[in-house]
A = this chain, B = another copy of it.
Amino acid sequence: MNNEARAKKRVTLADVAKQAGVSQMTASKVMRNTGSISEATRDRVTAAARDLGYVPNRLAGSLSSQNSDIVAVILPSINDTIYGDVVRGINEVLRPHGYMTFIGENQFDTELEEDIIRSVLSLQPAAIILTGGINRSEAAFRMLKNWQCPIVQIWDDSKSGFDGSVSPSHEAGGALVAQHFVDRGFKAPAYIGAELSKDLCAARRFDSFKSKLQAFGVVPFEVTDEALPRRGETGQTLVARLMETRPETDAIYCLNDAIALGALSWLHDNGYDVPNQVAVAGFNGTSLLQVVRTRLTTVDVNRERLGQVAAKAVVSLLNGEDIAEQTVLDTQLVQGNTT
């Protein structure tokens, strides 16, 4: 073997062992801090590992030991700020326990999710945290159910069928806004949303909003569009349609905060007085909203805590402890200056 070939080869445990003058197994024990090893040997091995720049090959390690420290997290989109907070919460809890998080995005797409799940399972994760409220394929569900690892579903508060579930109550979310609209005496409320057939949790909030209003004898007007993305610009489009079709609208509940912001900007640009002429409410409590001078009325979900609770559930399950099958986190209406 010439120098060039040797240079290309990665340093393995065998190299470390040879350099330290011990068996591979001893080196392995030193790296993992198990077994009984004399201090002198331990030092020789760690020194050798450092000298050679040894980085363990976890593929081999996990394959052999049949356990992994990867926790897979499957989200609709990392781009959505709400999940950023969730992931932060998850990491805060998981990292100190030595787990790494692997994130997959499903873009609310059924087929893509099945694909992602297959990819993620193929990495043999220790546990899985997955976002619900998506149309999951039967095949994907079965694959997960048959997989022998802890699975916790988040965000979705309907019964999950997995080991645990951590979420806000979407029903409460919708109802809170309905109640608020009634309390403030709005007569012609409306709802705007997009892709409701994909985002089942948003659909649940909407349903709850509707039925709560109906209990007060009010039927909200609705403008939804399955083809538009769940982004701020869509809020502008939808609210434009809404106000054109039904100018007397005096309160608008929006699918989420991003859409609410879009709606607000359109209303402002078109000379509407918010909240005196039209009120606006959203869902999520996105952090940016706390510093922008328009303080959107919204239903606040503590997303970081949601991540923490889910991660703690995972850790408990991995330690063989029992967990609550379902945890529903508090949600509360935060009144800003838009209603």
Contacts and interface: CB of A to CB of B under 8 A. Distances in A.
Interface in A57-90: 57-60, 62-63, 68, 77-81, 84-85, 87-88
Interface string A269-312: 10000000000000000011011111000000000000000000
A261 B291 contact: yes
B122 A57 contact: yes
A125 B240 CA distance: 47
A288 B232 contact: yes
| Band of interface residues on A | 35 or more
Interface string A1-13: 0000000101000
A119 interface: yes
A56 B122 contact: yes
B55 A143 contact: yes
Interface string A126-165: 0000000000000000110011100000000000000000
Nearest to A235: B291
B148 A55 contact: no
A102 B71 CA distance: 12
A122 to B, nearest CB: 4
A268 interface: yes
B58 A123 contact: yes
A258 interface: yes
Contacts of A142: 53
A290 B143 contact: no
Contact of A291 (B85, B104, B265, B293): B265
A231 B304 CA distance: 15
Contact of A232 (B60, B235, B258, B290): B290
Contact of A233 (B118, B231, B291): B291
A222 interface: no
A91 B290 CA distance: 30
A186 to B, nearest CB: 22
A225 interface: no
A287 B232 contact: yes
Contact of A292 (B85, B146, B233, B265): B265
Interface of A: 8, 10, 53, 55-60, 62-63, 68, 77-81, 84-85, 87-88, 91, 100-105, 118-119, 121-124, 142-143, 146-148, 231-233, 235-236, 258, 261-262, 264-265, 268-269, 287-288, 290-294
What 6 pairs between A and B have smallest CB-CB spacing?
A232-B291, A79-B84, A58-B122, A265-B291, A262-B291, A268-B293
